Chain A
């Protein structure tokens, strides 16, 4: 090794991952984790590794990335406010655009407070680690996103996971928490690996009955699920019962950034005590300008929501009819997850699809539940009905090539 003194190499802990990756590439498959998009033609089409490719693995659910109003707002901000703020939100990093995007979020959710972070990851990291401290208990779904787990790890609360979407398991754990301890229940609206929706109505009711505050991550539902696109909490009629909604600009909104909205009367103090908010530079002016414009357009995007549901139903039905094993029995979100028998055949299928001209996400452990290998398809409101039919035939041909069908 590169260490002549015989001292431990800090990188030896990655040897298993290195071996797994080398084994996969030795089989001759195109590297699923090094794809480069040379040119992006629209929200649904790009040039990938030299091929024109339909994009079915982005989180661009509402197709806002090339919206003319959104792009114009970004250009205006770039011209008038410069390329970046070079400062923290609590020092020199709050421009009028940052206040405006927070106003747009308050309008979108009809809530009292909104706080914008530089990424969705930091929103979970910051809010969770700051509000749940020593002696408090966090009760969370075992399939929670990495940013939620990292938020738990950064804070000092006792962390108690329960089986995915298991209402009874959650209730039992809540009831065992010592009297007087602070309680935070963390749930997601849509779980991104299988695209399944949580039974939030029942879970939030039980959490509240047991004196817990509730934080729901609606990253994968914003803009799409619920009458006004406010997420699964709106769809299930319990938006007023949750204490915090966490979301992101890097999915339906079409740029980058994260946020938390809340009606808690003391919410604004987080701006001073939340380290992942304070100790990082704020978002560039062009980013907050595109986000604010996009969020306000998403408030009136009922037709796009209807078309995206149509796409989700068509793809789910088509893949099911071909005989693929899917993550959910019915389409529940804009994510349709195709379960692969193992990583090797999953990578083979991924490559066969790419050669057909279709990009999907290859997801593997540890990001996936139950050690599954998944081909994750996320639909866009800008996919045409014809594109969805093309996608289904690509799956059929690739499935036969890769020996999955």
Chain B
């Protein structure tokens, strides 16, 4: 799957968690900008894992701060 398609799919997965309808850019941070708490992170990660049939371990999550980094990580895990 191409990065652009993964980008689009993850954007639609963020929607239900993006309560304040923050505009998503590659630099958007999940904790600082979207204010995800640990429970939201778990639900959001589960949604991504199910969509792409992958595992993103907590060790890998620790390296992901921004939307762009998440898209890169999923692209890598996919291929």
Complex interface bits, A366-381 against B, C-beta within 8 A gives 1, otherwise 0: 1000110000000000
Complex interface bits, B25-51 against A, C-beta within 8 A gives 1, otherwise 0: 000000000000111001100100110
Known: A142-B42, A370-B39, A371-B39. A161 touches B49 (CB 8 A): no
User: In whole angstroms, how far apart are the Cα atoms of A9 and B43 in the complex?
Assistant: 34
Q: Are B55 and A163 within 8 A (Cβ)? A: no
Q: Residue of B at shortest CB range from A153?
A: B58
Q: Are A160 and B58 within 8 A (Cβ)? A: yes
A169 at interface by CB-CB < 8 Å: yes
User: In whole angstroms, how far apart are the Cα atoms of A366 and B38 in the complex?
Assistant: 10
Stretch at the interface among A69-77, A170-178, A293-301, A309-317: A170-178
Q: Are B50 and A172 within 8 A (Cβ)? A: yes
Q: Are A159 and B57 within 8 A (Cβ)? A: yes
Q: Are A161 and B58 within 8 A (Cβ)? A: yes
Total interface residues on B, using CB and 8 Å? Answer: 15
B79 at interface by CB-CB < 8 Å: no
Q: Are A176 and B57 within 8 A (Cβ)? A: no
Q: Are B57 and A160 within 8 A (Cβ)? A: yes
Complex interface bits, B4-22 against A, C-beta within 8 A gives 1, otherwise 0: 0000000000000000000
Q: Are B42 and A137 within 8 A (Cβ)? A: no
In the complex, chain A residues whose CB is within 8 Å of the CB of B50: 172
Q: Are A163 and B46 within 8 A (Cβ)? A: yes
User: In whole angstroms, how far apart are the Cα atoms of A370 and B43 in the complex?
Assistant: 12
In the complex, chain B residues whose CB is within 8 Å of the CB of A163: 42-43, 46
User: In whole angstroms, how far apart are the Cα atoms of A159 and B57 in the complex?
Assistant: 5
B65 at interface by CB-CB < 8 Å: no
The one of B37, B43, B53, B58 in contact with A159, judged by C-beta atoms closer than 8 angstroms, is B58
CB distance from A198 to the nearest CB of B (A): 18
- Chain A contacts with B in 139-179, Cβ cutoff 8 A: 142, 152, 158-163, 169, 172-173, 176-177
In the complex, chain A residues whose CB is within 8 Å of the CB of B60: 158
In the complex, chain B residues whose CB is within 8 Å of the CB of A176: 49, 53-55
CB distance from A156 to the nearest CB of B (A): 9
User: In whole angstroms, how far apart are the Cα atoms of A172 and B54 in the complex?
Assistant: 10
User: In whole angstroms, how far apart are the Cα atoms of A371 and B37 in the complex?
Assistant: 10
Known: A370-B39, A371-B39. A160 touches B55 (CB 8 A): yes
User: In whole angstroms, how far apart are the Cα atoms of A137 and B49 in the complex?
Assistant: 16
In the complex, chain A residues whose CB is within 8 Å of the CB of B42: 142, 161, 163
Q: Residue of B at shortest CB range from A173?
A: B55
In the complex, chain B residues whose CB is within 8 Å of the CB of A137: 55, 57
CB distance from A175 to the nearest CB of B (A): 9
User: In whole angstroms, how far apart are the Cα atoms of A159 and B60 in the complex?
Assistant: 9
Q: Residue of A at shortest CB range from B45?
A: A161
Q: Residue of B at shortest CB range from A139?
A: B55
In the complex, chain A residues whose CB is within 8 Å of the CB of B43: 163
Complex interface bits, A326-370 against B, C-beta within 8 A gives 1, otherwise 0: 000000000000000000000000000000000000000010001
In the complex, chain A residues whose CB is within 8 Å of the CB of B38: 366
CB distance from A308 to the nearest CB of B (A): 33
CB distance from A242 to the nearest CB of B (A): 23
The one of B49, B53, B57 in contact with A158, judged by C-beta atoms closer than 8 angstroms, is B57
Known: A370-B39, A371-B39. A169 touches B46 (CB 8 A): yes
- Chain A contacts with B in 108-152, Cβ cutoff 8 A: 137, 142, 152
User: In whole angstroms, how far apart are the Cα atoms of A169 and B42 in the complex?
Assistant: 12
Q: A172-B50, A366-B38 known; 10 other A-B pairs, CB under 8 Å?
A: A137-B57, A142-B42, A159-B59, A161-B58, A162-B46, A163-B43, A172-B49, A173-B55, A176-B55, A371-B37
Q: Give 9 closest A-B pairs by Cβ, nearest first.
A: A158-B57, A159-B58, A176-B55, A160-B57, A158-B59, A159-B57, A160-B55, A142-B42, A159-B59
